[in-house]
């Protein structure tokens, strides 16, 4: 196995020899899995575009769409135009519309393409003059666009609503209106403030337990228009508590990138489906684990997925909103894109120390598809940072 020199937390540099036996890429169908599993997929930047990276997104559409086909080949669904795709964090509504159009066109070329699209209010800048009616109109615009393309909606949280709402009643009014208008049941998304600080106090409550009550009331009042809810609070306890209180017809989609294995496996009172950013980074492992669970082999499911949890916890470490850098870095290491460049220049949000530890954990999790290639690319990154590997 290859060896390279990696920096350590104490600023020393030492040799590291890879040990992981890569999990192979094996095609599956979604019907092989006992859970619905969406991967929130990233977009691939175009490093050769002549533009201002912080101001104007440039996307490599061919590679971005090829990546979606890879997810479908593995039996995974695609959660499109979400925060993993830097939505509202480099990718604006104009580029998101193009992404949705292109992805829906690709999805129509296959009979096994599970896909849903984020719709929110990110084209409406929060501000003191923004009203609840403005927010409703913004949601209607984005939901209408997704549905006009023939897509299913993932109803994203709204920064504008978090800033403008005076009470939980404002949330009930907005969501009640939007849900009354949708053509087919949606997946709601409660994104915690650890992912987006602008969403702190969502549902009109500072405490998650009280916010959960508001959210559950909204779901209960509109249960026929809600397929499920994804919560991203990084708390297994809170997710399980909410899961047990959902109407029988409403699914829980885990967005917990810290505890997904146990939540997907479930307990005697239920389980969670998946809508996860980490599945972008560990797709073959996620697919193999779900297939094992489909065969009734819970041990193999945990044997495959549990080693990926330390990697995921590292990628989603505080500040959690920078997790996308780790997702894209793994795509680079695994040869899924030719560069480590991100929309908005966000490849700079994590340190070399963080990337070195990610490399070690990815090796231990067996998600470096080609150890020789991954090592060569890691050495290139180290060299740019002044480390001779």
pLDDT for position 135: 98
User: Cα 316 from chain centroid?
Assistant: 11
In a domain, 95, yes or no: yes
Q: For the chain, how many structural domains are there in total? A: 1
Domain holding 217: CATH number? Answer: 3.20.20.70
In a domain, 16, yes or no: no
| pLDDT, one tens digit for every residue, the chain (389 residues) | 899 999 999 999 999 999 999 999 999 999 999 999 999 999 999 999 999 988 889 999 999 999 999 999 999 999 999 999 999 899 999 999 999 999 999 999 999 999 999 999 999 999 999 999 999 999 999 999 999 999 999 999 999 999 999 999 999 999 999 999 999 999 999 999 999 999 999 999 999 999 999 999 999 999 999 999 999 999 999 999 999 999 999 999 999 999 999 999 999 999 999 999 999 999 999 999 999 999 999 999 999 999 999 999 999 999 999 999 999 999 999 999 999 999 999 999 999 999 999 999 999 999 999 999 999 999 999 999 999 86
Instruction: Write out the residue range of the structural domain in which residue 301 sits.
Output: 32-306
In a domain, 334, yes or no: no
For 227, 239, 290, the CA distances from 252, given in Å and listed in that order, are: 9, 8, 17
pLDDT for position 149: 97
In a domain, 161, yes or no: yes
In a domain, 184, yes or no: yes
For 148, 260, 278, 370, 384, the CA distances from 310, given in Å and listed in that order, are: 40, 11, 11, 20, 27
In a domain, 329, yes or no: no
Of the candidates 42, 83, 81, 80, the one whose C-alpha atom is nearest the C-alpha of residue 60 is: 42
Q: Which residue has the tokens 């297994």?
A: 236
In a domain, 342, yes or no: no
49-53 long-range contacts, CB within 8 A, separation 24+ = 53/343, 53/344, 53/345
pLDDT for position 389: 66
Q: Which residue has the tokens 């923004």?
A: 130
Is 0.85 topped by the overall pTM?
A: yes
Of the candidates 84, 95, 85, the one whose C-alpha atom is nearest the C-alpha of residue 57 is: 95
């Amino acid at each position: 196995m290859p060896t390279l020199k990696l920096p350590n937390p104490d600023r020393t540099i030492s040799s590291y020899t890879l040990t992981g036996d890569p999990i192979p890429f094996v095609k599956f169908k979604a019907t092989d899995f006992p859970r619905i599993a969406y991967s929130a997929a990233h977009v691939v930047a175009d490093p050769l575009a002549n533009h201002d990276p912080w101001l104007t997104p440039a996307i490599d559409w061919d590679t971005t769409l090829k990546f979606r086909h890879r997810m479908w080949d593995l039996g995974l669904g695609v959660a499109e135009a979400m925060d993993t795709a830097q939505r509202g964090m480099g990718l604006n509504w104009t580029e998101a519309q193009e992404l949705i159009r292109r992805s829906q066109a690709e999805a129509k070329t296959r009979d096994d393409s599970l896909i849903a699209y984020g719709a929110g209010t990110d084209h409406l800048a929060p501000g003191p003059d923004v009203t609840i009616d403005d927010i409703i109109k913004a949601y209607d615009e984005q939901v209408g666009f997704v549905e006009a393309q023939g897509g299913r909606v993932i109803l994203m949280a709204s920064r504008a609503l978090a800033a403008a709402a005076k009470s939980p009643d404002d949330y009930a009014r907005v969501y009640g209106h939007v849900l009354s208008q949708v053509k087919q049941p949606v997946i709601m998304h409660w994104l915690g403030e650890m992912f987006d600080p602008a969403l702190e106090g969502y549902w009109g409550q500072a405490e998650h337990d009280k916010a959960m009550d508001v959210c559950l009331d909204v779901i209960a009042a509109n249960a026929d228009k809600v397929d499920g809810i994804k919560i991203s609070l990084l708390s297994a306890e809170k997710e399980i508590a909410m899961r047990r209180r959902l109407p029988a017809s409403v699914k829980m989609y885990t967005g917990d990138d810290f505890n997904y294995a146990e939540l997907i496996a479930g307990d005697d009172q239920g389980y969670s489906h998946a809508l996860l950013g980490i599945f972008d980074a560990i797709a073959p492992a996620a697919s193999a684990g779900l297939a094992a669970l489909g065969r009734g082999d819970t041990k193999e499911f945990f044997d495959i997925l549990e080693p990926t949890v330390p990697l995921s916890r590292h990628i989603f470490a505080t500040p959690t909103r920078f997790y996308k850098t780790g997702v894209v870095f793994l795509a680079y290491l695994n040869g899924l894109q030719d560069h480590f460049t991100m929309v908005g220049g966000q490849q700079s949000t994590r340190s070399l120390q963080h990337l070195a530890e990610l490399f070690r954990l990815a090796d231990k999790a067996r998600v470096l598809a080609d150890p020789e290639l991954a090592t060569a690319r890691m050495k290139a990154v180290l060299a740019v940072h002044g480390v001779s590997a």
